[in-house]
Chains A and B, each alone.
Chain A
Amino acid sequence: MKRRIFIQALISAGATSLLAENTYAVRNQPSLRFLRPPAALSEDDFLSRCIRCGKCGEACPNRCIQYFDLENGLSSMDTPYIIPRNKGCILCMKCGEACPSGAIPPVAREMHSVLKDVHMGKAVVNEELCLSFQGKTCGVCYRACPLQDVAIRVGRLEQPHVLKDCVGCGLCERSCIQIPQAIRIIPNHDRGLT
């Protein structure tokens, strides 16, 4: 390969990776519907605070925290994320304790502080996919929820109803036995301490 062509290819590859983070298609790929660790600041503040040290992942006993490479753009490189369908967050709050930079503020592992400070996202039930709404009593998401009757409650035939206090840990989406899953977490991008 000629040197000039190689350099041109290098520059254009760099340029596309820079552009990628702003393009609609990349942001909306189903696999990139990700959560930040619990209690993480709102997205812009998070990116400006996170020093990419990897200690949150090292503190996570559930190993649900992974790290971006280039797939979510350069600004997200090496930042932590959680894919709820792969592995939900168990709300142990150890990542906030480990985080030195304040990108994930420490939050006590107690009901009221978790409800107040954790805003990863919110679960949304797709009634057309949900077994309980088809008359087949299921209720698995309710059993998986760490905040039963606070974040989610069940009605007739174990039909799930998400309440406003759902923090978006993703354990329901992880446990849903339907494929594709009938309950999904819609991430909060303006999450954080309010």
Chain B
Amino acid sequence: MSWTMMQRHLNKLRWLVLSLVFSLLILLPFLHLYQTYEASHAYDLLSPTEKAISDSMEWLTRPFVNDPATDLNKIKGTTWSGTLFGLKVSDPLAVVGQIAAGKLVYVPFLVTALIPIIFTIIFGRIYCGWICPATFLYELNDNLTAWLRKAGVPVSRHKLDTRLKYLVLLMGVIFSALTGTIAFAAMYPPAILGREIYYAIALSGFGAGMVFFILTLFFDIMVTRRGFCRYVCPGGALYSLLGWFRVFRIKRDVTQCNDCAKCNVICQFGLDPMRDNFSQECNNCTACIAVCPTDALSFTIAIKDQSFQGAGHLGHSHRRLQG
């Protein structure tokens, strides 16, 4: 099977990755609880629920772990900042926020964001499409919106200006600098989500951040499709900027395209693949590649987007022009 053919399956792989990241965010707080039960040497004193958690986590980790107290420390944290096999990885937005709030560059923290920064420079908003735990829920929310629409509930798809999110990023930087606290931590859905899941499982329950996140879900349903990611998210804005000259881009093969517009319908970011318009907004979700009936869309290596190539050669309008 050729590489172009295999690209049709990238969307499934992406869903696998998204689900894996999301389930890890749920699993890690339980593993943390298990570690604290082990550390306290008090299995007999645990409540039935705690015993169930302890037993199931022990069963899950036994094949991989000798000493839960230390071995389970290898994977910790959230997508906002986490540890992967001893390597600390942080969100570039956290670094930008810290530099703005503290007015200094703390190099060890900057280093932890290097891998995401390099990936973003090469792939653009790949974090948004492939890793972000909020994307997982926002895409499910988009399916829900489609069902609601079918059931006759009025949902709207207003068009706003995508440059709004750059303004949000700028305001966030200014606000962080003025108040001396990292404002992004309170308004960036993946950070909120990772934290709130941890609060809900290991501590006292959901906090104020969850209210904000649920409001963004309603924003997506009632105002505009995937509105938060496209118009508000400061992280999305930062990655769009970092990925301005990204190397991997989806490109339309005009000789294969039949102008069926399935790609435009499936694109949750409201882009226009049928007219070669991906722009820096594309989050590499590859849904358009998967849905294309003629395999006209595929990843290519290019620094700039293709300008409009005209109607697809397999479509009606092109054939009419040819006479």
Binding site for A on B (CB under 8 A): 28-29, 32, 35-36, 39-40, 69, 73, 76-78, 80-83, 88, 90, 94, 97-98, 101-103, 106, 108-109, 112, 179-182, 185-186, 191, 194-195, 198-199, 202-204, 207-209
Contact = CB atoms under 8 A, between A and B. Distances in A.
A167 B157 CA distance: 57
A52 B102 contact: no
A75 B175 CA distance: 11
Given A100-B109, A101-B109, A102-B109, A45 B102 contact: yes
Nearest to A52: B185
B209 A78 contact: yes
Given A53-B81, A54-B78, A57-B203, A102 B108 contact: yes
A115 interface: no
Nearest to A18: B179
A102 to B, nearest CB: 5
Nearest to A68: B207
Contacts of A58: 28-29, 32, 76-77, 198, 202
B76 A59 contact: yes
A55 interface: yes
Contacts of B36: 60-63
A70 interface: yes
Given A45-B102, A58-B198, A51 B69 contact: no
A100 B81 contact: yes
Given A54-B194, A55-B76, A61-B36, 14 more contacts: A48-B103, A49-B98, A49-B106, A51-B90, A58-B28, A63-B36, A63-B202, A67-B199, A70-B208, A75-B180, A75-B181, A78-B207, A98-B83, A100-B90
Contacts of A45: 102
Interface residues of A, number: 30
A62 B42 CA distance: 13
B76 A75 contact: no
B35 A61 contact: yes
Interface in A158-192: none
Contacts of B81: 51, 53, 55, 100-101
Interface string A125-138: 00000000000000
Interface string A3-46: 00000000000000000000000000000000000000000110
Nearest to B76: A58
A100 B209 CA distance: 21
Contacts of A149: none
Interface in A75-116: 75, 77-78, 98, 100-102
A67 B83 CA distance: 20
**Among B98, B179, B191: residue with most chain A CB under 10 A:** B98
Contact of B208 (A55, A60, A69): A69
Given A70-B208, A78-B209, A101 B98 contact: yes
